[in-house]
Amino acid sequence: MTDHRTPLSKVRGTGAAREGVHEFITHRVSAIILALVFPVFLYGLMKALPGGYDGLALWVSSPIGAFALLIFITAGLYHGRIGINEVVLDYIHSHGLRTVLLLLNTLVAFGFWLAGVLAILKFWLGG
């Protein structure tokens, strides 16, 4: 039987790990989000630092500061987790060790994200 699909349609959706291009696209999207939010984050940080701790707390408690930090932390940790997952998948050949490292990577990234979100919410809600 003849297959009339193009080479692109034959490989779309199935990579070497049978996961397709999902992680490639999400890695690029998170990089774009980081590139867009980083100037806002940097500007707010530079405006807040001359005021010391009180200036930083005031910036984080503002809606723009809290929102910028939430996006920055979420996109940054997600971007980092995907990158480390790719390194583990490429260079760790033992299935058990690979599974443990991928799980550990996800748990550590989630733990840092949760700590960051709780800290930002504490400032933002005036705790």
CATH number at 44 reads: 1.20.1300.10
Is residue 114 a part of any domain in this protein?
A: yes
Look up the pTM and report it. 0.80
Is residue 82 a part of any domain in this protein?
A: yes
Is residue 97 a part of any domain in this protein?
A: yes
Place of tokens 């550990």: 104
Q: Structural domain tally of the chain? A: 1
pLDDT single digits (tens) 4-56: 666 666 666 555 555 657 888 899 999 999 999 999 999 999 999 999 999 99
Query: Which domain range does residue 33 map to?
Result: 23-124
Is residue 110 a part of any domain in this protein?
A: yes
Is residue 1 a part of any domain in this protein?
A: no
